[in-house]
Amino acid sequence: MKLLRYGEAGSERPGLIDADGTIRDLSAHVADIAGTTLHPASLDMLSKLDPKSLPAVSGSPRIGACVAGTGKFICIGLNYSDHAAETGATVPPEPIIFMKASSAIVGPDDDVLIPRGSVKTDWEVELGVVIGKTAKYVSEADAFDYVAGYCVSHDVSERAFQAERQGQWTKGKSCDTFGPIGPWLITKDEVKDPQNLPMWLKVNGKTMQNGSTKTMVYGVAYLVSYLSQFMSLHPGDIISTGTPPGVGLGMKPPVFLKAGDVVELGIEGMGTQKQTFRADV
């Protein structure tokens, strides 16, 4: 299934995309795409609905973040061997973990705000993994049992805040609107191999990133298991699994985003995002 949330910010309704690409309303069956809705039993219930029996949504509504109520937005740094190489970093012996504030989450086509004082706002297309049931001390072999599905995640980053200021990466990753997710949560049964997904990103129509999850250092199952050794993962938590090469920081000379730039990105089978960047006043 392709699950989504549509409507004005703060008033989104749950829906799904039918085989013809029409949004169908799920409000009669679930309150939101969040929490217990992501549990395997709930997803199984939704999968048995006849989409054509659900109300069709007319027009072209705003698409919100594909998951609500995210408690933890966990990101993995330098998780693509070719991205690590372009930044001059070595592949880490264990996953680099940092948090992106959940307040950064927005819809896939919402404007992204360049924060005050920013001179190095950058882009990163990533595969997002959405947790479906509580995971604690899970094995790598069982890790997919705890995954509800996947989404496109744009890990927008301010490199000066991230690396040139004191402290951790979080403040360069958590600015308002720095976490577009969606357009859909695609359930795991529709993704044959999360480690072989082409992904891309364009800035003002020019392709900057053109990679694949096959160059991930630490794959989805490993990451779910690894993270669950240190913290419980709850339904609606998102793991943003790292980015392939082609980020602005890696260009020679580096290239960063400015007000008016348009960024488009996508992952095969998971839909696309499109954001206009503007100054936060």
Spatial separation of the C-alpha atoms in residues 41 and 58, rounded to whole Å: 29
pLDDT at residue 233 is higher than 90: yes
Residue ranges of domains in the chain: 2-63, 64-279
CATH class (in words) of the domain with range 64-279? alpha beta
| Choice among 12-21, 78-87, 120-129 with the minimum mean pLDDT | 78-87
Of 17, 20, 101, 111, nearest to 66 by C-alpha is 17
Q: What is the pLDDT of residue 83?
A: 78
Percentage of the chain beyond pLDDT 90 is 92
CB-neighbour burial class of residue 148 (10 A; exposed 0-12, middle 13-18, buried 19+):
buried
Q: What is the pLDDT of residue 29?
A: 98
pLDDT at residue 87 is higher than 80: no
Of 106, 228, 110, nearest to 176 by C-alpha is 106
pLDDT at residue 85 is higher than 80: no
Q: What is the pLDDT of residue 227?
A: 98
Q: Confidence band (pLDDT; 50, 70, 90) for 91?
A: confident
pLDDT at residue 148 is higher than 80: yes
pLDDT at residue 24 is higher than 90: yes
Rg value, the chain, Cα: 18
pLDDT at residue 114 is higher than 90: yes
169-174 mean pLDDT: 92
pLDDT at residue 88 is higher than 90: no
pTM for the full model?
0.96
pLDDT at residue 153 is higher than 80: yes
Mean pLDDT across the chain, nearest whole number?
Answer: 96
- In degrees rounded to 5, what are phi and psi of residue 180? -65, 130
